[in-house]
């Protein structure tokens, strides 16, 4: 009964989405106010229906209702309760349901928090979201209905893939989806602006907090994925340039370009059509990511069993969304004048460089990811692109990005004096060069040339931002009262500024992490007998043997290690090899001694011979945590920026005329709004 209710709610959601896509938009074009007013209740109704559908699926999982095919495939009775819930999005159908639920959530949030948005704009935004929802709901109902029944009802379900029975992976997909789907808001704002022909600073201001927030979710999602891969897949890597990872990285790269470009559009009313294009691209790449992951056209280490008809549907949907929005763009964007001229030495230039670098890198990642498809389509053979290529491309662009990143915040809008810049930043540059020289010494770099480069760039980033904060505080309250000035600034309108600083410092931390772990890590595959010791990077691993240990729904072979630094024992590690009762699929559970400056990592390979010997993998990972720490700082910076008072004021009911004065040349090109 409950699954049918869920199915029914899903169908109602589709009907609501159709109404939502048609009426508010039509109302906004014809000036029919009652139709526009429908937008808000429709957004809430959509969320309610999908909430009911989702709750129905959760209920089916929690009560282990194996008459539902999807539950049978992804859960069983011995699965711990918490994973019964996370199993809801452990497969294709449930992930999609989560996706549309989040999209409805974003839509409802826009309806709640954009009280001062002109009604016509809100109506269009909600309508565009309705159109996307139609696509996804049709997709679900026709090819991947999570509520499909199965008779006869099996006694026991299969299992949730053991790789997914992990807290990190329970929250990784929701975060990622929140980010992906969040870009649909930016997309909807952009398309709504194109429909209305109204692209201006006000549009950028409305769109900015939503874009930044989705970017924050995506950042956290990618970070969790990387962290999960590191400890759960058992081979100690944190990024593999795998198609599925690239699929999440591409929207992130374009999204990063977008939040910077939006800043220019808001402050200087420049880059307008470019910003719109980025917003369209960010969401299109999210859809492309879904297509790549769901269609199975690419060989991935995140290997999905897939269904070609699903891939075809998403591909068609992708074509409609990308084609439609680009056509709209081509039609309307030329009418938008790109105001806000700027001089070569200006913040605009640095942000333009940022955008170009991010887009260039996205194009490269996209090309590398799709190259196997291109080669096959042209009959050039079946290829895979090795990750060294991606690394090379990354290293070719990243240093320039870091250099610009240090300069950008120090630059003034429109026009700056090069000499002023030199006066403000010479000491940061000098210290960075000092770091370069010091870390070039073999004692630090171990002969790897990228170590000094990475460390110097991180130092440059950090110091340049310190210089910028100092200058701001000096202008605000004088250097003598730095603390109070900082607090007042944080309470006042400075949060987006400090958010930017924190996020950029996150980049510096990330650069340190990537540089050091990539160049200085040590890893060895060894064969050890119980009682053996093996030393890497100054740490001695003593292997005490492997014993069988039962878990809640698996049997584990648990290894026991003592780790010594010199004579002092620093930790005991218990890596496991698990066999799950549901599927009999083996799983490696690595044991990690985490630290801010290094991780010690042990994972069990397989038993060798009959004397209790094992093939083992031992790792020393310096500064690996800094990679995720950097990502967390970036996300924190984003949150700080979103909490800026500027956006809160924008949220309060507007007393002044809804049309805000436009900065720069007049951009209101249509009367339709």
Partner 1 sequence: MNARQKRMLLAGAGVIGVGVAAMLALSALQSNIAYFFSPSQVQAGEHPTDAVFRVGGLVVADTLKRQADGLTVRFDVTDNAETVPVSYTGILPDLFGEGQGVVAKGRIGADGVFHADEVLAKHDASYMPPEVADTLKTAHADGIVEDTAEGLKAAGQTVTR
Residue 441 touches partner 1, criterion: CB under 8 A: no
Asked whether the beta carbons of 203 and 264 are under 8 A apart, the reply is: no
**Bridge-partner residues for 48, per DSSP?**
none
Stretch that binds partner 1, among 392-400, 438-446, 511-519, 627-635 (CB under 8 A): 392-400
CA atoms of 159 and 84, how far apart (whole Å):
10
Q: Applying CB under 8 A, what is the total number of residues that bind partner 1? A: 64
Interface pick for partner 1 out of 20, 28, 73, 496 (rule CB under 8 A): 73
Residue 353 touches partner 1, criterion: CB under 8 A: no
The owner of tokens 């007049």 is 666
Measured from the CB atom, is 305 or 443 closer to partner 1? 305
Interface pick for partner 1 out of 11, 301, 433, 487 (rule CB under 8 A): 301
Stretch that binds partner 1, among 278-286, 480-488, 520-528, 637-645 (CB under 8 A): 520-528
Asked whether the beta carbons of 83 and 162 are under 8 A apart, the reply is: no
217-250 burial, b at 16+ Cβ within 10 Å, e below that, comes to: bbbbbbbbbbbbbbbbbbebbbbbbbbbbbbbbb
Residue 617 touches partner 1, criterion: CB under 8 A: yes
CB of 364 to partner 1, least distance (A): 6
CA atoms of 469 and 494, how far apart (whole Å):
11
CB of 95 to partner 1, least distance (A): 7
**Bridge-partner residues for 526, per DSSP?**
616
Residue 613 touches partner 1, criterion: CB under 8 A: yes
CB of 623 to partner 1, least distance (A): 20
Stretch that binds partner 1, among 108-116, 186-194, 434-442, 578-586 (CB under 8 A): 578-586
Instruction: Give the number of residues written for the chain.
Output: 673
Interface pick for partner 1 out of 8, 44, 113, 235 (rule CB under 8 A): 235
Interface pick for partner 1 out of 382, 442, 550, 596 (rule CB under 8 A): 382
Interface pick for partner 1 out of 23, 102, 240, 647 (rule CB under 8 A): 240
Interface pick for partner 1 out of 59, 306, 643, 660 (rule CB under 8 A): 306
**Cβ count near 479 (within 10 Å):** 10
* Burial status of residue 418 (CB atoms within 10 A of its CB: 0-12, 13-18, 19 or more): exposed
Interface pick for partner 1 out of 527, 645, 648, 659 (rule CB under 8 A): 527
Residue 526 touches partner 1, criterion: CB under 8 A: yes
Measured from the CB atom, is 234 or 454 closer to partner 1? 234
Residue 587 touches partner 1, criterion: CB under 8 A: yes
Query: Using CA of residue 304, residue 309, residue 310, residue 316, what is the dihedral sign?
Result: positive
Asked whether the beta carbons of 576 and 549 are under 8 A apart, the reply is: yes
Residue 304 touches partner 1, criterion: CB under 8 A: yes
Interface pick for partner 1 out of 399, 477, 605, 612 (rule CB under 8 A): 605
CA atoms of 252 and 358, how far apart (whole Å):
10
Residue 364 touches partner 1, criterion: CB under 8 A: yes
CB of 372 to partner 1, least distance (A): 8
Interface pattern 41-60 for partner 1 (x via CB under 8 A): --------------------
Interface pick for partner 1 out of 299, 417, 522, 569 (rule CB under 8 A): 299
Q: What is the dihedral of CA 131, 137, 138, 139, to 10 degrees?
A: 110
CA atoms of 200 and 257, how far apart (whole Å):
18
CB of 324 to partner 1, least distance (A): 27
Measured from the CB atom, is 225 or 630 closer to partner 1? 225
List the Cα angle 498/502/505 in 5-degree steps: 135
Q: Which of 224, 75, 234 is nearest to 578 (CA)?
A: 234
Residue 395 touches partner 1, criterion: CB under 8 A: no
Residues 6+ apart with CB under 8 A from 521: 619, 620, 621, 622, 624
Peptide bond into 152 cis (omega under 30): yes
The token duo for 356 is 């170009």
The token duo for 581 is 């009762």
Residue 371 touches partner 1, criterion: CB under 8 A: yes
Interface pick for partner 1 out of 6, 107, 368, 638 (rule CB under 8 A): 368
Identify the three-state secondary structure at position 188: helix
CB of 303 to partner 1, least distance (A): 4
Measured from the CB atom, is 243 or 506 closer to partner 1? 243
Residue 194 touches partner 1, criterion: CB under 8 A: no
Residue 549 touches partner 1, criterion: CB under 8 A: no
CB of 571 to partner 1, least distance (A): 22
Per CB under 8 A, contacts with partner 1 among 203-222 are: none
Residue 585 touches partner 1, criterion: CB under 8 A: yes
List the Cα angle 114/181/212 in 5-degree steps: 55
Residue 555: which H helix or E strand, with range? strand 554-565
Identify the three-state secondary structure at position 578: strand
Residue 234 touches partner 1, criterion: CB under 8 A: yes
CA atoms of 166 and 610, how far apart (whole Å):
32
Interface pick for partner 1 out of 384, 417, 569, 670 (rule CB under 8 A): 384
Residues 6+ apart with CB under 8 A from 574: 558, 559, 560, 561, 591
Half-sphere exposure for 587 (CA within 13 Å, toward CB):
25
Residue 300 touches partner 1, criterion: CB under 8 A: yes
DSSP for 495-516, please give it: HHHHHHHHHHHHHHHHHHHHHH
DSSP for 59-86, please give it: HHHHTT-TTBHHHHHH--TTS-HHHHHH
Residue 442 touches partner 1, criterion: CB under 8 A: no
Per CB under 8 A, contacts with partner 1 among 259-298 are: 296-297
Asked whether the beta carbons of 152 and 69 are under 8 A apart, the reply is: no
DSSP classification of residue 412 = P
Per CB under 8 A, contacts with partner 1 among 107-166 are: 144, 158, 161, 163-164
Interface pick for partner 1 out of 123, 191, 229, 277 (rule CB under 8 A): 229
Residue 237 touches partner 1, criterion: CB under 8 A: yes
Residue 608 touches partner 1, criterion: CB under 8 A: yes
Measured from the CB atom, is 277 or 673 closer to partner 1? 277
Site of interaction with partner 1 (CB under 8 A): 70, 73-74, 90-93, 95, 144, 158, 161, 163-164, 229, 233-235, 237, 240, 296-297, 299-307, 360, 364, 367-368, 371, 375, 381-386, 388-389, 392-393, 396, 525-527, 583, 585-588, 603, 605-606, 608-609, 613, 615-617
């Amino acid at each position: 009964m409950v699954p049918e209710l869920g199915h029914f709610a899903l169908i109602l959601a589709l009907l609501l989405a159709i109404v939502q896509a048609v009426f508010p938009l039509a109302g906004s074009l014809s000036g029919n106010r009652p139709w526009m007013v429908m937008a808000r209740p429709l957004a809430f109704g959509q969320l309610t229906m999908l909430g009911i559908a989702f709750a129905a699926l959760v209920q089916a999982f929690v009560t282990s209702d194996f008459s539902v095919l999807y539950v049978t495939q992804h859960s069983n009775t011995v699965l711990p309760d918490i994973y019964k819930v996370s199993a809801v999005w452990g497969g294709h159908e449930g992930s999609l349901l989560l996706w549309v639920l989040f999209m409805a959530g974003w839509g409802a949030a826009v309806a709640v928090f954009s009280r001062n948005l002109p009604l016509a704009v809100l109506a269009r935004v909600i309508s565009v979201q309705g159109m996307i929802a139609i696509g996804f709901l049709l997709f679900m109902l026709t090819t991947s209905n999570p509520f499909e029944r199965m008779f006869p009802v099996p006694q026991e379900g299969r299992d949730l893939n053991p790789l997914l029975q992990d807290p990190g992976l329970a929250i990784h997909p929701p975060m990622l989806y929140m980010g992906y789907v969040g870009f649909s808001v930016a997309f909807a704002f952009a398309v709504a602006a194109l429909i209305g022909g109204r692209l201006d600073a006000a549009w950028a201001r409305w769109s900015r907090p939503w874009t930044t927030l989705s970017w924050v979710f995506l950042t956290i999602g990618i970070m969790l994925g990387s962290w999960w891969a590191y400890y759960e897949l058992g081979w100690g890597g944190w990024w593999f340039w795998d198609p599925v990872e690239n699929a999440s990285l591409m929207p992130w790269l374009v999204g990063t370009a977008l939040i910077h470009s939006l800043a220019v559009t808001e402050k200087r009313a420049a880059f307008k059509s470019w910003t719109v294009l980025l917003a369209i691209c960010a969401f299109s790449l999210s859809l492309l990511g879904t297509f790549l992951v769901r269609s199975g056209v690419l060989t991935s280490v995140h290997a999905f069993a897939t269904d070609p008809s699903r891939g075809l549907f998403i591909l068609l949907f992708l074509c409609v969304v990308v084609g439609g929005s680009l056509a709209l763009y081509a039609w309307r964007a030329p009418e938008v004048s790109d105001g806000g001229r700027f001089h070569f030495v200006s913040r605009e230039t640095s942000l333009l460089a940022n955008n170009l670098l991010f887009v260039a890198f996205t194009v490269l990642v996209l090309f590398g990811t799709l190259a196997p498809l291109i080669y096959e389509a042209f009959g050039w053979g079946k290829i895979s692109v090795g990750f060294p290529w991606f690394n090379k491309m990354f290293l070719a662009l990243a240093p320039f990005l870091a250099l610009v990143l240090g300069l950008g915040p120090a630059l003034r809008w429109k026009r700056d004096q090069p000499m002023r810049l030199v006066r403000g930043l010479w000491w940061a540059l000098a210290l960075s060069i000092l770091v370069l020289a010091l870390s070039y010494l073999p004692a630090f770099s171990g002969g790897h040339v990228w170590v000094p480069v990475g460390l110097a760039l991180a130092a440059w980033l950090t110091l340049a931002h310190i210089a910028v904060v100092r200058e701001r505080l000096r202008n605000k309250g004088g250097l003598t009262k730095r603390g109070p000035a900082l607090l007042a600034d944080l309470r006042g309108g400075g949060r987006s500024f400090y958010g930017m600083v924190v996020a950029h410092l996150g980049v510096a931390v990330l650069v340190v992490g990537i540089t050091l772990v990539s160049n200085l890590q040590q890893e060895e595959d060894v064969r050890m007998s119980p009682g053996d010791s093996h030393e890497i990077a100054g740490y001695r691993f003593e292997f005490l043997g492997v014993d069988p240990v039962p878990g809640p729904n698996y049997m584990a072979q648990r290894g026991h290690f003592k780790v010594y630094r010199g004579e002092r024992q620093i930790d005991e590690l218990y890596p496991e090899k698990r066999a799950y009762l549901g599927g009999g699929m083996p799983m490696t559970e690595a044991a990690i001694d985490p630290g801010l400056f290094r991780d010690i990592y042990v994972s069990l390979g397989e038993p060798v011979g009959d004397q209790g010997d094992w093939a083992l993998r031992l790792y020393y990972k310096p500064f690996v945590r800094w990679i995720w720490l950097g990502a967390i700082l970036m996300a924190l910076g984003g949150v700080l920026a979103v909490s800026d008072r500027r956006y809160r004021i924008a949220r309060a009911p507007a007393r002044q005329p809804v049309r805000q004065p436009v900065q720069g040349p007049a951009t209101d090109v249509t009367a339709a709004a």
